[in-house]
Structure 1
Amino acid sequence: MDLVEVLPRRLYLLASPVGHAYLWCGPDGLTLVDTGMPGSAPRIAEAVEALGFRRQDVRQVLLTHGHVDHVGSAAEVAGWGDVVVAAHRDEARVVRGEAEHPPLVLAGWERHLYDQIHATMPTDPPAPVRVDRELQDGDVIDLGGGVEAVAVAVPGHTPGSLAFHLPEERVLFTGDTIARAPDGTVMLGVFNTDPPRAAASMRRQTALRPDIACFGHGDPLTEDTATRLAEAAARLSETVDQLTEPPQPA
């Protein structure tokens, strides 16, 4: 994983080709937002140690949702020590391996992209992960040193997708609900179970007007962030908002 400083000595991107993780460094320990693909734990540990910490300094893991490229290494990280794993209560059964997400609703242009990416993904589900804290919209997470994160329910990508908002620091972790393309374009995240709800969740996050937006896919946005998020939300296709549930099988 490439280690990229986003906020000096406090926030780092642990970049991967698929599924970024983020590390918040507090005075009382480290908070990891998502864990990347299966097999990422050793590289996360290397990044933690490169910053002068121990893997046992990871105190909590905040999961934005239960897809394999975000929870893939959570079970291993949770075994490093006294680690609290948190996810939305509507996502917890998926994270624990007790349930599956509903089917995706793909726009025509997404289907080829999905097939390409899906072909590179693990065929086995991620290792089940215990969830120590089931979060709801508005719950507050202590990151240490007086810094708090607020859980923001952002359903649509999955039913229990969460964003994490640090109001004082004006930082937003979006998971896969918002993404950034290789050319820098900010966009609604792809491969959603409920596109209209995903669009509404993007608009909700835009209204938070963060200074820094950290995406599950794509580089963090650190300049003109609120404006660029608002512009992306304004570009949301009416087609997205008008999509309905997929037809039921006969």
Structure 2
Amino acid sequence: MEIAKGVHRIGPTRKGWKLGGYAQCYLIDDESGGLVLVDAGYEHDGHRILEYLWRIGRTPADITDLALTHAHRSHLGAVAALKRLNPRMTIHAHAWEADIVAGHRMAQPMPFRPLRPLTIYPMRIGSLINYDAHRGCPVDALLHDVDGQRIGPLEVIQTQGHTPGSVSFLWRERGVLAVGDAVATWPKLDAGWPGFNLDEARYQRSLQKIVSLEPKIVLTGHGLPVTENTTQKLESLLKGPYWPARS
């Protein structure tokens, strides 16, 4: 569905909801002719992406760029299928995670603690045993540790911590920020999921950076996007262990 002008939310599918905790991706249309897809869900979510494209009168050939926030299964599963349908599509990912996207290396498994929320334990176990592994696809364009790289109308913002190569994508003119797993709204609004950040200190600094950008809309990887009272909701995440950031 179109949640704001030029911003479409796709998913989650029933299986994607069960496996990936309300995982979804986003289609960006700045009316320049091409489309940018942010993340690609699980492998079976490719069907939902295709259905949505056809429903709005577009095809995979219209996607010029696929921008990955990070290399976890719930975000890159359909990349290979979409690339086969449109070989001219440019796949963007951080240089640190390109070999994961290509299928040459597993992403780091997540720890089992803390114990809550219990609803995400299937994902912890899945990451540990590499369940439902994605089909690898080479990355065409590497993102590096600098802000301001461009993918269509989007600016790349470095927000590492959840993973070493996590990035966010800012559509500055419209105040839209796609944050991957830096912010979650499922099963509740939270600073990611407890225990899912590989570098907690770095993540805390990234979260403060996200808040400082003052986005109007935050596109989350898991759960509904934040579209109202966004500044207030983001600032609420800085309380407790997330302020001040550890060095």
Equivalent of residue 192 in structure 2, options 181, 188, 196: 188
The corresponding residue for 2:141 is: 133
**Alignment partner of 1:178: what SS?**
coil
8 Å CA contact 2:150–2:156 kept in 1: the answer is yes
**Alignment partner of 1:79: what SS?**
helix
Deviations 1:132-187 (A, max 9, x none): 100122143242xxxx211112111111011111112111000011111345x343
Equivalent of residue 80 in structure 2, options 70, 75, 87: 75
Deviations 1:176-216 (A, max 9, x none): 11111345x34334412122222221111111110000000
**Alignment partner of 1:126: what SS?**
coil
The alignment status of 1:213 with 2:218, answered yes or no, reads: yes
Gaps of 5+ in 1: 243-250
1:130, distance to aligned residue in structure 2 (A): 1.2
Q: Which residue identity lines up with residue 24 of structure 1 in the other structure?
A: I
**Take 1:132 and 1:197, find their aligned partners in 2: how far apart are those partners?**
27
Q: Which residue identity lines up with residue 147 of structure 2 in the other structure?
A: G
Question: More helix by proportion, 1 or 2?
Answer: 2
Tell me the C-alpha RMSD between the 2 structures. 2.4
The corresponding residue for 2:102 is: 96
1:114, distance to aligned residue in structure 2 (A): 4.3
Question: More strand by proportion, 1 or 2?
Answer: 1
The corresponding residue for 1:45 is: 50
Gaps of 5+ in 2: none
CA gap 1:128/1:235 in 2 versus in 1, 3 angstroms: same
1:103, distance to aligned residue in structure 2 (A): 4.3
TM-score by length of 1: 0.84
**Alignment partner of 2:43: what SS?**
coil
Q: Which residue identity lines up with residue 84 of structure 1 in the other structure?
A: T
8 Å CA contact 2:111–2:124 kept in 1: the answer is no
The alignment status of 1:154 with 2:151, answered yes or no, reads: no
The alignment status of 1:7 with 2:4, answered yes or no, reads: yes
TM-score by length of 2: 0.85
Equivalent of residue 174 in structure 1, options 167, 176, 179: 179
1:241, distance to aligned residue in structure 2 (A): 5.4
8 Å CA contact 2:155–2:170 kept in 1: the answer is yes
Q: Which moved more, 1:21-30 or 1:171-180?
A: 21-30
**Take 1:103 and 1:56, find their aligned partners in 2: how far apart are those partners?**
34
8 Å CA contact 1:187–1:232 kept in 2: the answer is yes
**Alignment partner of 2:36: what SS?**
strand
**Take 1:37 and 1:166, find their aligned partners in 2: how far apart are those partners?**
24
8 Å CA contact 1:186–1:228 kept in 2: the answer is no
- How many residue pairs get aligned? The number is 233
